[in-house]
Chains A and B, each alone.
Chain A
């Protein structure tokens, strides 16, 4: 077990290094002199030289990368051109907001997805099953940025129940777990939950239907065990997969939040990315992508590590 974890950790090291190298190279993907991406257009020669030396841009690329990586490891991701604040600080605030949203969406997706999947799996082949399958495939097919707009039209414009955008009074700094703030989260979270709901419904449905068709279930029924006991078996068989799917989905939700956060102006990493792209704020872009990608790698690692604990059938020797 420990050996497996150690291996998995070791395996993540080259991935993290490559991920960071790819993030670093984004500067070079950007058209024009990387320096011009870091500096305002009207910078004086003095400032240019100063920044060049400060960022080590006069050195070879791999030295630059090493320096950048060294700073990134200590938490120094540079300074945002747009706001003039440290990138790390900007991200720190935004990632909390995104995490709140993604976690809420995951919980919604997991709950609805498991319930629907369970119902469909128990009634495999029935009309209910077909309807649930239709919902599930719609969930994975819907352009969620459009779903967000539709929800806003219904719940904000027509019904005026929920706010259309933002994160409540005081903006991004003043999040609180009260209704005044949480109502801002409902629409974006439901929008974000569409995809994981669809995926979890499909996986749980398949697992439950499969489990119920297994011989041991027939044997249990023949032995006169109650449906409740069988239900416990079904849950035990499908829960690990559903949980690992939701874990991986959390990572995708964080990373893919740019579209939904743009629709709702939710002050998270997605909105930050959007700002960084359109203000050509390369340090901010690099930093945000690095943090999100590492978060994703870390989360996958965690899911992999937890899976054998949840499901004893998966032995990783």
Chain B
């Protein structure tokens, strides 16, 4: 097996290996058999300094869980998370509080992620205050960030979240995340709930901020167009597993995994001649409670063979920096179409 996180040139900013989280519910003394949701199953990837890794997949594929695991909001079962080679929570590594100063998160629901009883200024100041920044410095920082995200501080600082529009609130959330002067942002569906025009503005703001502050992004979205626009590399997830990961042009132009191909075919195209009539994959993904054996996609894959049910495919390198978890990409797998595509 080739670990896609092993990097040829230098240490990546963020790196995770064998990250795993299985949620167990029930299983108490009286509740019988526990239900195990395999939200994230041993995934590994890295994000280089100053780049954006886009994460795509259907709902329930473990995208959000991955972000929360990286932030330490949920405790991981196993695996390691490293920032610039230093283990978070490891013996010689970073403690979680320091890691959270380096890495911040923006959530999908702009309203729920702001305390309704705090002015937006207080919300932005909260993080720095926790990290012992003086009140006046925290306020100065809040005002300059509000200004930077396009909200005049004199008009907006004293407002409450319900007095703002969705796009304005999401700008506040971005300012709040930046208030700790992090080097990386985890954007969990951060623009998904916004109107299309507002979404574009916020995306451009994110791109500007990235250049200005030298930020690194993990950008989670179900919207393939948006991911294509903002990402340098793309990771495709399905039922808690990485299906494919590689440079954005590679993934979009020559997808190797049948799941990626299906996703891209379902993507609404601007070009009428490219539009497909029928949905390439149908139905909901299987439940992550009892995920399919072997390759988790085999129940919906048009190329599924016996080997796909029996063996779990490993990530195989197909092109430089492009890894695919499919038996067809592995010449030795025994799949009849192995090595053809």
- Chain A interface residues toward B at CB < 8 A: 3, 7, 10-11
How far in angstroms is the closest Cβ of chain B from A305?
15
Tell me, in angstroms, the Cα distance from A233 to B31 when the chains sit together.
34
Interface residues of B in 26-53 (CB under 8 A from A): 30-32
Residues of B within 8 A of A3 (CB): 32
Across the interface, do A10 and B32 meet the contact criterion of CB distance under 8 Å? Answer: no
Interchain residue pairs A-B with the least CB separation, the first 6: A7-B30, A10-B30, A11-B30, A3-B32, A7-B31, A7-B32
Tell me, in angstroms, the Cα distance from A11 to B31 when the chains sit together.
10
6 contacts across the A-B interface (CB closer than 8 A)? A3-B32, A7-B30, A7-B31, A7-B32, A10-B30, A11-B30
Interface residues of B in 244-294 (CB under 8 A from A): none
For the residues of B in contact with A, the DSSP-based class is: loop
Q: Mark B1-42, 1 if CB is under 8 A from A, else 0.
A: 000000000000000000000000000001110000000000
Residues of A within 8 A of B31 (CB): 7
Residues of B within 8 A of A7 (CB): 30-32
Closest to A6 in B: B30
Closest to A7 in B: B30
Tell me, in angstroms, the Cα distance from A7 to B31 when the chains sit together.
7
Closest to A11 in B: B30
Residues of A within 8 A of B30 (CB): 7, 10-11
- Chain B interface residues toward A at CB < 8 A: 30-32
Closest to A317 in B: B32
How far in angstroms is the closest Cβ of chain A from B27?
13
How far in angstroms is the closest Cβ of chain B from A20?
20
Tell me, in angstroms, the Cα distance from A10 to B31 when the chains sit together.
10
How far in angstroms is the closest Cβ of chain A from B35?
11
Closest to B31 in A: A7
Residues of A within 8 A of B32 (CB): 3, 7
How far in angstroms is the closest Cβ of chain B from A5?
12
Tell me, in angstroms, the Cα distance from A194 to B30 when the chains sit together.
38
Tell me, in angstroms, the Cα distance from A10 to B32 when the chains sit together.
12
Tell me, in angstroms, the Cα distance from A11 to B30 when the chains sit together.
7
Residues of B within 8 A of A11 (CB): 30
Tell me, in angstroms, the Cα distance from A7 to B33 when the chains sit together.
13
Residues of B within 8 A of A10 (CB): 30
Tell me, in angstroms, the Cα distance from A10 to B28 when the chains sit together.
13
Closest to B32 in A: A3
Tell me, in angstroms, the Cα distance from A7 to B32 when the chains sit together.
9
Tell me, in angstroms, the Cα distance from A3 to B26 when the chains sit together.
14
Closest to B29 in A: A10
How far in angstroms is the closest Cβ of chain B from A301?
14
How far in angstroms is the closest Cβ of chain A from B87?
42
How far in angstroms is the closest Cβ of chain B from A279?
42
How far in angstroms is the closest Cβ of chain A from B45?
37
How far in angstroms is the closest Cβ of chain A from B12?
46
Tell me, in angstroms, the Cα distance from A3 to B31 when the chains sit together.
9
How far in angstroms is the closest Cβ of chain B from A93?
37
How far in angstroms is the closest Cβ of chain A from B32?
7
Tell me, in angstroms, the Cα distance from A56 to B160 when the chains sit together.
68
Tell me, in angstroms, the Cα distance from A11 to B29 when the chains sit together.
10
How far in angstroms is the closest Cβ of chain B from A258?
34
Closest to A9 in B: B30
How far in angstroms is the closest Cβ of chain A from B139?
48
Tell me, in angstroms, the Cα distance from A7 to B30 when the chains sit together.
6
Closest to A10 in B: B30
